[in-house]
């Protein structure tokens, strides 16, 4: 019996040493996200590492990860992603690509890069663009579905781009946690054209002519965003094609130092609820039906309903905005086609 017991103890010791490592390993580089395939490395000093990102992509198989060290940055090359891969940089502020990045494949993730020029995604689905710095021309996404753009810093400038982020003919879009800025007043921070089923949440739009442009889109939720120091309009929603913009929810956003907060044109079934308009001149609308303004804070406590003017109030700024300095602050409103916020908030909402 003693021999049997000793054998059992020895077996248990072997099992324990197989499960619990005897020493911990010090890892200098950040750990890689898990993936189903192999990992190919670019830069650094490892044996067999690639010197160019495109070479690693070309040699990768579907499902592989391409990890790019910042030791050899900046990478002066153009990147074409035409297969299912996970492309990660070591550090978003130091792993720099001096060229464009173009994606034409499904289930692609790109994270932790500074991209100095153009970035585009065309004809793809299930794409994630996360935690990058995208500068200059911006990010252009067309004919895609199930796209997530999150926690990026997107910076454009008027010389090369009308907006820092554009979606054309897309569906099921999630834009969350991004910061939109511009070098010299990009026309729009973000533009959605004929794009449906969108969530736009927890972004910062600042230092631009317009914050958000929504043209002929349906089922769009705009919640928890900050529109700060916008020269003209915070949100412009209008018709671009045969499709009327419809079923758009604008809820619990901050509009601070904006010439006019929201403009609705030809909209149907749009709700503007529980937003803060602080040092923001006004909102306006033009045609449309089924639109509701309710429980917004209008810069001060209001006992009476807040009027939101339409038609003439829309037409005059469109004609005069480039001709008269300070036109909007001095504009005499014409009370024609008026809607009301019947229950204005008496104090600003706490919107983080």
Using one digit for the tens of pLDDT, what is the confidence trace for 154-185?
Answer: 987 645 456 889 999 999 999 999 999 876 65
- pTM, two decimal places: 0.83
Count the Cβ atoms, other than its own, within 10 Å of residue 48: 6
The rounded distance, in Å, linking the Cα atoms of 228 and 207 is: 7
Q: What is the pLDDT of residue 183?
A: 67
Pull the structure tokens for residue 172.
Answer: 């099921």
SS3 115: strand
The rounded distance, in Å, linking the Cα atoms of 159 and 182 is: 11
CA torsion through residues 257, 299, 286, 262, sign: positive
Instruction: Kindly give the residue spans of alpha helices, DSSP state H, lying in the chain.
Output: 2-19, 53-59, 312-320
Nearest to 59 by CA among 33, 89, 88, 39: 39
Q: What is the pLDDT of residue 334?
A: 46
Low-confidence stretches of the chain (pLDDT < 70) are 1-36, 157-162, 183-186, 311-336
SS3 349: coil
First to last CA, the chain: 69
Count the Cβ atoms, other than its own, within 10 Å of residue 258: 27
Q: What is the pLDDT of residue 325?
A: 54
């Amino acid at each position: 019996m003693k021999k049997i017991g000793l054998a059992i103890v020895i077996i248990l010791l072997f099992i324990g040493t197989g499960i619990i490592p005897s020493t911990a390993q010090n890892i200098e580089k950040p750990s890689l996200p898990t993936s189903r395939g192999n990992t190919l490395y670019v830069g650094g000093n490892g044996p067999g590492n690639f010197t160019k990102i495109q070479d690693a992509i070309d040699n990768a198989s579907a499902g592989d990860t391409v990890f790019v060290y910042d030791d050899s940055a900046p990478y002066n090359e153009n990147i074409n992603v035409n297969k299912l891969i996970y492309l990660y940089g070591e550090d978003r502020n130091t792993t720099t690509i001096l060229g464009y990045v173009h994606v034409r494949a499904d289930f692609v993730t790109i994270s932790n890069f500074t991209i100095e020029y153009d970035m585009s995604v065309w004809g793809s689905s299930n794409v994630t663009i996360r935690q990058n710095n995208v500068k200059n021309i911006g990010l252009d996404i067309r004919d895609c579905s199930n796209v997530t753009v999150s926690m990026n810093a997107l910076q454009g400038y008027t010389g090369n781009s009308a907006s820092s982020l554009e979606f054309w003919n897309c569906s099921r879009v999630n834009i969350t946690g991004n910061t939109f800025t511009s070098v010299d007043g990009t026309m729009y921070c973000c533009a959605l054209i004929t794009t449906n089923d969108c969530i736009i949440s927890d972004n910062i739009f600042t230092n631009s002519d317009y914050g958000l442009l929504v043209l002929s889109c349906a089922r769009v939720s705009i919640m928890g965003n900050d529109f700060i120091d916008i020269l003209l309009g915070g949100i412009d929603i209008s018709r671009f094609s045969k499709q009327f913009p419809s079923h758009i929810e604008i809820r619990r956003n901050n509009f601070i130092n904006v010439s006019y907060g929201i403009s609705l044109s030809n909209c149907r079934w749009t709700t503007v609820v529980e937003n803060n308009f602080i040092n923001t001149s006004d909102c306006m609308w033009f045609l449309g039906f089924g639109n509701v303004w309710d429980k917004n804070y209008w810069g001060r406590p209001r006992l009476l309903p807040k009027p939101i003017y339409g038609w003439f109030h829309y037409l005059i700024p469109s004609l005069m905005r480039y001709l008269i300095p300070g036109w909007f602050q001095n504009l005499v409103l014409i009370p024609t086609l008026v809607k009301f916020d019947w229950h204005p908030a008496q104090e600003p909402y706490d919107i983080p």
